[in-house]
Amino acid sequence: MTKLLENKVALVTGAGSGIGQAIAYQLAAEGARVVVSDINDRAGTETVARMKDLGHAAIFVRADTAKPADHEALVAAAVKAFGGLDIAVNNAGIGGPSAPVGEYPLDGWDKVIAVNLNGVFYGMRYQIPAMLPRGGGSVINIASVLGQVGFRSSSAYVAAKHGVVGLTRSAALEYGPQKVRVNAVGPGFIRTPLLEKNLSPEAITHLEGMHALGRLGESQEIAELVTWLATERASFVTGAYYAADGGYLAQ
């Protein structure tokens, strides 16, 4: 049976663990050749090794999403290895410090904006031109439920994720005529190693209660939505924000 992404070339940032890793695995399972990017060499290399063990075509390219030159090199590596670029998932992100606006560390603000917002812009800046010779493509930007609402003591993260949604919509308008679709996905709170490392069991229980489904999401649940957006099954979908949030935004 033909896979939905047979012969497509995909790039995923922050793919060494968590949501990004699940997305990379799922895109590969549907036949895509995947460029795995992460700032963590070991995590990225191990992810690719596992993908190859499963018979998938994949390479690892180290990239810091806050650096434009790294994005340029990442796209160039995809083109060199696999002949082009059809799908880009801008997933890499950080949480940043926790503090009210009037006390927020200036260096923390700069870092969160650099990674979570500038990094998405830099990615699209080089990804989209590489898609145009292919007759189009699909860009999926990983935003957050916090791209729609506020959250105490997380002003930089909230501002960046709101920015990602706006950036997504603008790019969709600009490149729709050239058949490049650009969409954003807004995960709720997802059970990842990073979340479980940084939050107490009591805090996790509290977060679970903020979702209508009464639980945190799983990375695979986000990967399923992202993969659909990458395929032709979503051919009339662009400029959209899709929440995968267990009902977080319903309240």
- pLDDT per residue over 216-238, tens digit each? 999 999 999 999 999 999 999 99
Q: What is the pLDDT of residue 134?
A: 97
3-state secondary structure of 174: helix
Amino acid at 150: G
Total domains, the chain:
1
- pLDDT per residue over 22-37, tens digit each? 999 999 999 999 999 9
- pLDDT per residue over 93-119, tens digit each? 999 999 999 999 999 999 999 999 999
106 belongs to a structural domain: yes
Domain range holding 35?
A: 9-191+218-244
**Among 122, 126, 157, 248, the one annotated catalytic:** 157
Cα→Cα distances 113→47, 95, 100, 224, Å: 27, 10, 16, 27
199 belongs to a structural domain: no
3-state secondary structure of 233: helix
Q: What is the CATH number of the domain that holds 159?
A: 3.40.50.720
| pLDDT tops 90 at residue 199 | no
- pLDDT per residue over 35-81, tens digit each? 999 999 999 999 999 999 999 999 999 999 999 999 999 999 999 99
Residue 117 DSSP symbol:
I
233 belongs to a structural domain: yes
CB 61 within 8 A of CB 83: no
The predicted model gives 4-20 an average pLDDT of 97
157 an active-site residue?
A: yes
- Whole-angstrom Cα distance, residue 161 to residue 147? 4
- pLDDT per residue over 200-221, tens digit each? 899 999 999 999 999 999 999 9
Reported for 218-222, long-range contacts at CB under 8 A and 24+ positions apart, including other chains, are 218/190, 218/191, 219/18, 219/19, 219/21, 219/22, 219/23, 219/190, 219/191, 219/192, 220/22, 220/26, 221/190, 222/19, 222/22, 222/23, 222/142, 222/185, 222/187, 222/190
